[in-house]
Structure 1
């Protein structure tokens, strides 16, 4: 894989960074990968490389650039404490505008030869949904265990892209009430998929944390690839 940091122009004209990973062929459909609260850290960069190996041109934007550019945190106590502080200080409307700009920036890359999707984790899962709802260039969106997504369901009326959701059945951060809010609002859409992994907890896709659940992560990844193959064709 070939990777580098590039400049992204937000929808308000400001510039910030993003990690770009290219597939072995050098070109393909686009994927905006949206971080968890620990930044575009080693794990997120490896996930970007994983999707690049699957054939996508992947851009992982620096969501926290307005607070601490290129923050790269560990999953230990100090890193997690700083991560939660950054999440609590996030200007969500501005972040959505930044991510809409990231979609446009990715679309303009010469390596992108197809449609664009968003994939995000926890905070990034919520932002993946919001970006899909607010960018006409998003052809599909994926949200893993999207934190507090029940608080932004008002944007569902703007959503035109297909959406896929992944929840851990043991997740106490994102409980049944949050999952049910998604199902109640979007479950009747033909192009909505909701998967619940009964034996998995919050963050089950992150191999750098104790709650990593290999079986759920592999099953979810396969479903994401099938979903993207269908909607980015």
Structure 2
């Protein structure tokens, strides 16, 4: 599990605006209905983010994160993975997520992503830039969905993306890195036992070999899930991660 129910996203620089949060049920092309949470800025800019949660799906950390983006003028939509197998039930700590993770299929997930993108494009200006921000399994899926050229992302921002999970036999995020089509800002902890630095370096090598713009940041001493307001020892890493994100979004 990446974040528990007490986790809180760090505050971004320049926060102070207002945003309205909205619980949603979106529908994919195959009829799947799934949970989502949108944050609408009072003064929206020309960028939006699609948020991929960790293995627990759409729980409170990601709703709060969507609001933090909204408060700095970035429309945000966080989506759930498990509508097909768990329905529209709660994703609090009592949710037994692993049986549903094991049933996750990339083709189905891509249909949900398409529905999320459609929603964001209906909300924003024509030609608005949409970025993906994903955490843990969501970071892995950020890279995997970066292989789909039809999505039209402006960029990919995976946090501590797991590099060894094989999604339904389609390959791991590391296996598929040479097919990624969008600029990447990858954010990793240097003391993450589940994601060795050697694997992160291998990811960077494969991404750079494609010719796409690649920026991989490894925060020395930071653990998995370091991006959490409770972890004062990682406050500098979290602040820099926010700066990296906003610079990446601004430049794309």
* Alignment partners' CA distance in 2, 1:195 and 1:53: 25
How big is each residue's C-alpha offset from its partner over 1:98-149, in whole Å with a ceiling of 9 and x where there is no partner? 2233223321225676211100000010111222321432111100000126
Q: Write the mapping of 1:31-42 to structure 2, written as runs, cut at 5 A.
A: 31-42=49-60
Do structure 1's residue 147 and structure 2's residue 166 form an aligned pair? no
Structure 1 equivalent of residue 68 of structure 2:
50
Distance 1:181 1:91, change over 3 A: same
* Alignment partners' CA distance in 2, 1:65 and 1:24: 30
* Alignment partners' CA distance in 1, 2:92 and 2:55: 9
Contiguous gaps of at least 5 residues in structure 1: none
Structure 1 equivalent of residue 197 of structure 2:
176
Structure scoring higher RCO (CA < 8 A, sep ≥ 6) equals 2
| Aligned-partner SS, 2:224 | coil
Distance 1:157 1:182, change over 3 A: closer
Q: Write the mapping of 1:113-132 to structure 2, written as runs, cut at 5 A.
A: 114-132=128-146
Do structure 1's residue 191 and structure 2's residue 205 form an aligned pair? no
* Alignment partners' CA distance in 2, 1:70 and 1:191: 39
2:104 counterpart (90, 110, 117): 90
More helix as a share of residues = 1
* Alignment partners' CA distance in 2, 1:226 and 1:149: 29
How big is each residue's C-alpha offset from its partner over 1:161-207, in whole Å with a ceiling of 9 and x where there is no partner? 11110110000011123213312211343511000001100111134
| Alignment: residue pair count | 225
TM-score by length of 2: 0.79
* Alignment partners' CA distance in 1, 2:184 and 2:44: 27
| Aligned-partner SS, 1:152 | coil
